[in-house]
Amino acid sequence: MENTTRGLTNQFVQPPWRVALWSVAYSTVLAVAVFGNLIVIWIILAHKRMRTVTNYFLLNLAFSDVSMAAFNTLINFIYAAHGEWYFGQVYCRFHNFFPVTAVFASIYSMTAIAIDRYMAIIHPMKPRLPAKATLGVIVCIWSLAVVLAFPLCYFSTIRTLPQRTVCYVAWPRMAEDSFMYHIIVTVLVYILPLVVMGITYTIVGVTLWGGEIPGDSSDNYQGQLQAKRKVVKMMIIVVVTFALCWLPYHVYFIATGLNKRLSKWKYIQQVYLSVLWLAMSSTMYNPIIYCCLNSRFRAGFKQVFRWCPFVRVSSYDELELQSTRLRPCHQSSVCTSILSKDKSTRGNSPLKKSWKHSCCEELKLHNTQTQFILEQLQVIPISHLFSFF
């Protein structure tokens, strides 16, 4: 990702067959990441039902991954494989700045999702973020990412050598400053966000799998509980995947910073290309995870690939992305609670009879309306109709 003085030694000279092999690997990441994340962006923007707080953060995450894949993966591979910078001074600064900014924005977006899930599940009575506040959080995420990545832009330059041109970050104290920057980035953009997400998802997981959701007493409690579990499980997989993909990358730069002799190791270029590929591959997994674990994203992907002979779009898939939401009547929940309590209460006063009769009538009306809606929807189970996000 960041080009430092290792480019001056041209240590990434390789035989043609290795270049071809790595080209296929990096091109696969580029194609899957860009195409997959663009589909995610389309699914969220084109369907009103998908425009929720969590999905807006997923939209920002998808945009970050597209940016990193499009502007970093292929260019970094070409430079690493050939040891020659072909793209000029301006793009040298951009290359060392914007894709890194996108990486920072990605992990902070995941942190924002973790906090949003924590607030929605642990403190459900507190109001959710409005659209403007969500946009403000996204602006803050990118602003912080820009600040953290700005030194790379400021110190980036190109240098023309007798046989080639290199792009690198000319730190004032070169190796010392480069190592210090990587330590700061590892703490602020890897360890700290993962700690925050680990704590929040642990609390959320204990609540969802070990007890009742605070403030949730709806008629479809089990259905909503399962839906929330699916969302949290999906996001935990996203975070763990990101952490595993980027761990070797951070370890590589810390290890080479502590032990300079590692940079002269015979196979260090293959190690670098491997950890770089693994880090860049983090951009292509999220769309696959969404498609496998979320029925609405899966329905969106089916719509995109409906031209494929083996992809079948059912009426349920069409319904998943419609804007209509079916939610239990609040009064019916109250009546259910009253009737439940009434069973264990002795006495038969006229007031209690009146309350009970009123609630029973309302429940009958609610059940009739629900039955009619289910018939119109081809008797789709009600648990599938609740919003996941």
pLDDT at residue 97, rounded to an integer = 93
Residues 209 and 144 in one domain: yes
Quote the tokens at residue 352: 């209690």
206 within domain boundaries:
yes
121 within domain boundaries:
yes
Residues 135 and 269 in one domain: yes
Residues 42 and 149 in one domain: yes
Q: How would residue 17 be classed by pLDDT, with cut points 50, 70 and 90? A: confident
pLDDT at residue 274, rounded to an integer = 92
State mean pLDDT over 220-234. Answer: 81
State mean pLDDT over 362-387. Answer: 41
Residues 274 and 332 in one domain: no
pTM: 0.76
Phi, psi values for residue 160, rounded to 5°: -95, 120
Q: What is the DSSP letter of 169?
A: E
Average pLDDT over the chain reads: 79
Pairing state between β 156-160 and 165-169:
antiparallel
Residues 338 and 266 in one domain: no
Residues 42 and 170 in one domain: yes
Residues 170 and 32 in one domain: yes
80 within domain boundaries:
yes
- The answer to whether residues 289 and 241 touch, using CB atoms and an 8 Å cutoff, is yes
Q: Of 272, 304, 336, which residue constitutes the final position of a domain?
A: 304
Burial of 175 (0-12, 13-18, 19+ CB in 10 A): middle
Q: How would residue 1 be classed by pLDDT, with cut points 50, 70 and 90? A: low
Q: What is the DSSP string of 1-17?
A: ----GGGGGTTT---HH
Q: What percent of the chain has pLDDT over 70?
A: 77
Phi, psi values for residue 165, rounded to 5°: -120, 140
State mean pLDDT over 164-188. Answer: 89
- The answer to whether residues 167 and 7 touch, using CB atoms and an 8 Å cutoff, is yes
pLDDT digits (tens, 9 = 90+) for 84-126: 898 989 999 999 999 899 999 999 999 999 999 999 888 888 8
Phi, psi values for residue 171, rounded to 5°: -65, 150
Listed range (72-76, 90-94, 116-120, 200-204) with the worst mean pLDDT: 72-76
315 within domain boundaries:
no
How far is 45 from 37, CA to CA, in rounded Å?
12
CA-derived radius of gyration, the chain: 26
pLDDT digits (tens, 9 = 90+) for 307-322: 888 888 887 877 777 7
322 within domain boundaries:
no
pLDDT at residue 216, rounded to an integer = 55
Q: How would residue 12 be classed by pLDDT, with cut points 50, 70 and 90? A: low
Residues 343 and 267 in one domain: no
Q: Of 304, 336, 353, which residue constitutes the final position of a domain?
A: 304
318 within domain boundaries:
no
The more confident residue out of 12 and 246 is: 246
Domain that holds residue 338: 327-385
Residues 129 and 193 in one domain: yes
Is residue 129 predicted with pLDDT exceeding 70? yes
Is residue 344 predicted with pLDDT exceeding 80? no
Residues 55 and 101 in one domain: yes
CATH assignment at residue 228? 1.20.1070.10
Residues 190 and 106 in one domain: yes
Residues 227 and 333 in one domain: no
pLDDT at residue 207, rounded to an integer = 86
pLDDT at residue 16, rounded to an integer = 80
197 within domain boundaries:
yes
How far is 22 from 363, CA to CA, in rounded Å?
64
**Number of folded domains that form the chain:** 2
pLDDT digits (tens, 9 = 90+) for 250-262: 999 999 888 888 8
pLDDT digits (tens, 9 = 90+) for 282-305: 999 999 999 999 889 999 999 899
316 within domain boundaries:
no
State mean pLDDT over 166-190. Answer: 90
